A and B are shown apart, each in its own frame.
Chain A
Amino acid sequence: MDTGLLIEKIVLIVLLFAVSLGVAAYLTLLERKVAAWMQDRIGPDRAGKWGLLQPLADGGKLFFKEDFIPANADRFLFIIGPGLAMGFAMMTSAVIPWGPNIQAFGRDIALQVADVNIGILYIMALSSVAVYGIMIGGWASNNKYSLFSAIRASSQMISYELAMGIAIITVVLMSGSLSLREIVDAQHGFWNDGYFTWNFFKQPIGFIVFFVCTVAELNRAPFDMAECESELITGHHTEYGSMKMGFFLFAEYVHLFIGSAVISALYFGGYNFPFMDYFSGNTLAILGVLAFFVKTGFFIFVIMWIRWTLPRFRYDQLMGLGWKKLIPISIVNMVITAVAVAFASGWFSTDKKDQTEPASAKMEVVADKQKLTLNQSTIKH
């Protein structure tokens, strides 16, 4: 790694940062437009054409509002809460591969901030620590409604994380890697060997479980127990105003954007699209990024559509769905997938001759890799 690569990564990080914020800002407009469309209204249309300047107006308003802290709140934690929510939301995008490598300035640039080999677990980890923003913020407000919201939301988020984790395992099982880049590359193109390559067509049940869990993790209707306008008066951010509340709202939309991107990367091929082998180089890269954003946009729309269609769950129904339905379904799905793949690979056949021995082959590869890294380190010293 050299200075050029470092500059490239910094440019990518800043770009991704700007895109996440911009997309989140315009998702607030999109949400209001979608809601208006579904309820046969017009929606925001005063600021700019079709209300296109509305997010800027909203953002500006939030910046210049009074920063309110209740007298009996815990001041330090009250300020930290929204910071945690926003910070964790903005960190999740680091491991998502946004497109095939692009050639520019004589370099081969990967459109991914960090290709770590535990990528999908990184997303799991960040979605599991995302509860702290709501929890700390709700508790610090010293408001009973906020406290209920904080506890309900965190309990809900940890419950759905389990089923989500098991659903991801089936995807990992089929692609053999935790790296998101490799999971996406394993779904190359659209059609191969007489079947679809995208994980959705191989794992429809896993997809449904993952999708439901994502909506629950995002705290969006019908799982919006954290906000619950009609009973908890918007819950954990009741006492917040100014940019602190802006952070909670923004974090929600950044999560919506990244969550949809993860769904399309894991189950809908990410930047892969049909007939992609006819293109190459930068054309492929640009079309790939476009395909990825189209898929992400589609899921954002579906999640909004669900919000404006379904009523909210009751809390015991919500916990019942997470624990008693999704966990058993996903674990049975995992076992069936493992056994089916094993059966297809002929592990159960008594005729040992047919079997190749990938176990020893893999061991050799690992040993070679170790040798290689050892050599590198001896050269360096």
Chain B
Amino acid sequence: MSSIEIIALALGALTIASALMVVLSMHPVRSVLYLILTFFLISANYVLLNAQFLAIVNIVVYAGAIMVLFLFVLMLLNLSKDNEPRASNIMKLAASLAAGALVIVLVAALKDAIYLPVVENVQGNSQGLVENLGQLLFTKYVLPFETSSVLFIAAMVGAVLLSKKEKQIID
């Protein structure tokens, strides 16, 4: 086993551990903190795969923007101790059954991918560097690129609707 494989394995284990902490932590704000840590570790994985631009975009967009949104949502909700929803045992059983079913589906879907050699072949590949990525994005994939902006406008319409709703409440 080469040293890069050891690093990749250790990093993978850390990533999974911190991702587990996201779901195991009982406190929503702490979960968000662990999720931020997970994004940083995923970025480290991207760097190992030589996808540097993706690594930094992952931090800017996910750790820097979407997690701020998550925290705002948590602060928007009422987090007082007294009105915390209490889960009954049947609910817990149902939740674990549903989650278990999801795990089976995911493992079934990913079982072919697991046996692919992960690290070795990617090392010589410089596709993830920003120059090459830009070349591809603006030549071969220019249509999906333009289409994504329409998607953004759709999302903006949704956000604007949200802000309209509050006004009615105030009135």
Contacts and interface: CB of A to CB of B under 8 A. Distances in A.
B142 to A, nearest CB: 14
A77 interface: yes
B33 interface: yes
Interface residues of A, number: 35
B29 A154 contact: no
A163 B30 CA distance: 30
A77 B30 contact: yes
Given A178-B130, A377-B123, A151 B60 contact: no
B59 interface: yes
Nearest to B52: A118
Interface stretch (A17-25, A189-197, A237-245, A362-370): A362-370
B36 A377 contact: no
Interface string A54-87: 0000000000000000000010110010000000
Most buried by A among B27, B36, B56: B56
Interface in A119-135: 121-122, 124-125, 128-129, 131-132, 135
Contacts of A363: 135
Interface stretch (B10-18, B65-73, B86-94, B110-118): B65-73
Contacts of B123: 377
A377 B2 CA distance: 13
Given A121-B56, A147-B75, A366-B131, A136 B126 contact: no
B132 interface: yes
A117 interface: yes
Interface string B98-140: 0000000000000000000000000111100111100100000
A374 interface: yes
Contacts of A117: 52, 129-130
Nearest to A116: B52
Contacts of A116: 52
Interface of B: 27, 29-30, 33, 36, 52-53, 55-57, 59-60, 63-65, 67-68, 71-72, 75, 123-126, 129-132, 135
B72 to A, nearest CB: 7
By Cβ-Cβ distance, the 5 closest A-B pairs, closest first, are A128-B64, A377-B124, A125-B59, A121-B56, A374-B124
Interface of A: 74, 76-77, 80, 116-118, 121-122, 124-125, 128-129, 131-132, 135-136, 139-140, 147, 151, 154, 158, 161, 178, 362-363, 366, 369-370, 373-374, 376-378
A373 B126 contact: yes
B3 to A, nearest CB: 12
A80 B33 contact: yes
A77 B65 contact: no
Contacts of A118: 52-53, 55-56, 130
A76 B33 CA distance: 11
A135 B135 CA distance: 38
14 contacts: A76-B30, A118-B56, A118-B130, A125-B60, A125-B63, A128-B60, A129-B63, A132-B33, A139-B75, A151-B75, A366-B131, A366-B132, A366-B135, A370-B124
A135 B71 contact: yes
A171 to B, nearest CB: 15
A66 B95 CA distance: 46
Contacts of B52: 116-118
B56 A125 contact: yes
Given A132-B33, A132-B36, 17 more contacts: A76-B30, A77-B29, A77-B30, A116-B52, A117-B129, A121-B53, A121-B60, A125-B60, A131-B68, A147-B75, A154-B72, A158-B68, A178-B130, A362-B131, A366-B126, A369-B126, A370-B125
A124 B33 CA distance: 20
Contact of B126 (A80, A140, A370): A370
Contacts of A125: 56, 59-60, 63-64
Contacts of B33: 77, 80, 132, 136
A135 B60 contact: no
B64 to A, nearest CB: 3
Most buried by B among A125, A128, A154, A374: A125
A122 B56 contact: yes
A129 B65 CA distance: 8
B41 to A, nearest CB: 14
A129 B64 contact: yes
Nearest to B53: A118
B114 to A, nearest CB: 23
Contacts of A74: 27, 29
B105 to A, nearest CB: 33
A121 B129 CA distance: 13
Contacts of A121: 53, 56-57, 60
Contacts of B36: 129, 132
Contacts of B55: 118
Contacts of B57: 121
